[in-house]
Structure 1
Amino acid sequence: MERLLLTLLFVALFALSLYGMWRGWRRQAREQSVRVPPLPAVPEGLGEPLLESSGLYVATTFAGRWQQRIVTRGAGLRGPAVFRLYRDGVEVDRAGAPGFWIPRESIVNVHTARGMAGKVMGTQSLLVFTWRLRNGDRDVELDTGFRGDDLAEYRSWSEQVEGGARA
């Protein structure tokens, strides 16, 4: 009987913890939906990509705050993705989640990082796009992280994105 009570207590505490995490995620999404406008949709008729890489979409965070994940509008869902560079911007094509567009004129910086929103590695294994998203009369600066299958492609991404931004 004592063992059954302890087991039920453990199950109840576990369920309460899950409920608390779910409520916190929903509260954070509600608060962020005011600060972060919808992510841009991918435009039609882009043509052939200049560069394409597959890997893992890690997260989108507020710029410079690598642990403050954006959870609103589906941006907090980590998963397989393909990043494609076009003349006008970067397509983030996520499997099982809505994709979005990073316009080239919005990109501030492309760099590598060791970690972002719960994904930390010992090396500079993440490709991070810092970009501005228009929110009414002010911009919100975001970091979008990607862990590519081939880390050697990161140099090409940096050169192509930053070279095209200056052109």
Structure 2
Amino acid sequence: MNRLGLTALFAAVFVLLVLLMWWGYRNRARRQAAVLPAFPAAPETVLAGVREGTAETLLPPSTGVYASTVTDASWQDRVAVGDMGFRADATAHLLPEGLLFDRAGASPVWIPAESVRAARTEAGIAGKVMGRDGLLVVRWAVGGHEFDTGFRADDKDDYDSWVPALRALTPEVRDGE
């Protein structure tokens, strides 16, 4: 087989693998759409206030990368519904109403304050492994399902204030239990 034939064979195998990956991701999104609840949309007033700089925030915004949202079944079980599974540059805003990841080139991810269950740092989440305490991970619930959302801040020192502030939103702390 000559060089041109090998190149064509390699290109065909590459295209086939890309198509299979796309097909698998599309099927995962279909399966999850049938099972997972609708995710909350960011209230327009909150979104407008954050973007205009007039929203009341509990902490200064933190810039970084929204890594992904996964189900509580596994840190590798990425949510593929809509664009929740797409990594994007983002700014995290903690407000009394909830947590907003304002993503560049993707829809914002909104976690209402009453949905927050826990906050911690982790080494990784689907699509992003950063090493020890490299990601801020927020556990939250909606419609009887729990999710973990990962965010890699540009300044890792932000986690020292973000983790306790997010934990203060959990029902146990809010209700005084």
The question of a shared fold, defined as TM-score above 0.5 by the shorter chain, is answered with yes
Query: Residue in 2 aligned with 1:24?
Result: 24
Deviation of 1:30 (Å): 0.6
Deviation of 1:143 (Å): 0.2
Structure 2: which 5+ residue stretches go unaligned?
47-54
Query: Residue in 2 aligned with 1:157?
Result: 162
- Write out per-residue CA displacement over residues 34-81 of structure 1, whole angstroms, 9 at most, x where no aligned residue: 122232111133432222111000000012511111111111110100
Matched pairs, number: 163
Contact 1:64 1:143 in 2 (8 A): no
Alignment of 1:5-154 (within 5 A): 5-46=5-46, 47-51=55-59, 52-134=61-143, 139-154=144-159
Q: What residue identity is the alignment partner of 1:50?
A: L
Alpha-carbon distance in 2 for matches of 1:94, 1:150: 17
Alpha-carbon distance in 2 for matches of 1:148, 1:26: 29
SS at match of 1:48: coil
More strand by share: 1
Alpha-carbon distance in 2 for matches of 1:109, 1:4: 56
Alpha-carbon distance in 2 for matches of 1:57, 1:2: 46
Structure 1: which 5+ residue stretches go unaligned?
none
Task: Give the % identical residues.
Answer: 43
SS at match of 1:29: helix
Contact 2:116 2:169 in 1 (8 A): no
Query: Structure 2-normalised TM-score?
Result: 0.87
Report which stretch shifted further, 82-91 or 117-126: 117-126
Query: Structure 1-normalised TM-score?
Result: 0.92
